Amino acid sequence: MFNKFCEKLYSGKPFFTVEITPPHGASMDNILEQIEQSNIADKIDGFSVTDNPLAQLKMSSILSAIKVQQKFNKPVIATVSMRDRNKLSLQSSLLGANDFDIRLILALTGDPAKLSDQPEVKGVLERDSTLLLSIIYRLNNGVDYSNKELSPKPKPIIPFAVSNSYARDYKNLQKRMLKKLNYGARAIITQPIYDTQNAKTLLEIFEEAKKESIRETAKKAKLIFGQFPVIRAKTVNFIADKVPGIHVPKEIIDEMNLAAMDGSKKENEVGFELSKNILNKVLKLNSNIHLMTHNRFNLCAKLIESTG
């Protein structure tokens, strides 16, 4: 399953993953049912599961990933946030996940604890996501972080990392990509992309980072373009104003604001057409796409079908 997943990622053919946000509750059943009804699993190469995004309480990403992977027999990238774990907990979680064949891990520093909906929650932040990438490197060599041999040794873990999709100084963004490649990331998933020039620049700096990397694994590393459909004007304005590291062109904001004035039906129609056009344009530049839709799996399926 994982070999096929990686072969497709490196193949240059259209490759899709879809993000799942676990519930604020104690069962994945409703989400699994939505996925099944949408038939999205038949159209994609894998899922990813978020880990308490915006420091908001959700079900465990690793345990949710186990349920999704066992249900649909599709590889699942489990997000692991540094914010909530020290290096002992990180290693323990990864070893447990490994026994359940959760071996695709997205290393994330995590949104600040101050954003949390939980009173007085504190972050457990020993270092940024490169610590997790370093732990994975050791585990893949059969030792723990203190270089003690593991018995039995874990099955190979495939590490992923993330990147902003926009920066005023792309050289700094390139340096951050390089750092993650040097720590062993096999692929980097970007924040959502909304214009082709932005996409072209990201590909250019990623290729430069690969050339500079000291890691042999960086030669095959891939950039995966994030896509977040713009179905509502309110969402577009929020992303443009409040979310750092993402650029939404003014013409998209203006078009969505005008559509919203004609009612929700028109807003959704215009939003879908814009999202479809953006997806098809960036897909011509890079075949690897990660869809983020807040569990709107029917929308994911419809967008993928629009790519032909």
Tokens of 45: 């190469």
Q: What is the pLDDT of residues 282-308, one digit of tens each?
A: 999 999 999 999 999 999 999 999 997
Q: What percentage of the chain reaches a pLDDT higher than 90?
A: 92
Domains and CATH numbers, the chain: 2-306 (3.20.20.220)
Q: What is the pLDDT of residues 92-137, one digit of tens each?
A: 999 999 999 999 999 999 999 988 989 889 888 889 999 999 999 9
Given a contact cutoff of 8 angstroms between Cβ atoms, the answer to whether 113 and 85 are in contact is no
DSSP 78: E
- Report the greatest alpha carbon distance in the chain: 64
CA distance 192 to 10: 21
CA distance 165 to 54: 18
Q: What is the pLDDT of residues 21-45, one digit of tens each?
A: 999 999 999 999 999 999 999 999 9
Given a contact cutoff of 8 angstroms between Cβ atoms, the answer to whether 152 and 167 are in contact is no
To 5 degrees, how large is the angle CA 17–CA 21–CA 27? 120
Per-residue exposure over 269-303, b if at least 16 CB sit within 10 Å of its own CB, e if not: ebbbebbbebbeebbeebbbbbbbbebbbebbbbb
Q: What is the Cα gyration radius of the chain?
A: 19
Q: What is the pLDDT of residues 161-187, one digit of tens each?
A: 999 999 999 999 999 999 999 999 999
Identify the pLDDT of residue 18: 98
Q: How many CA atoms lie within 13 A of 297 on its CB side?
A: 21
Identify the pLDDT of residue 125: 82
- The closest of 124, 186, 137, 192 to 164, measured between CA atoms, is 192
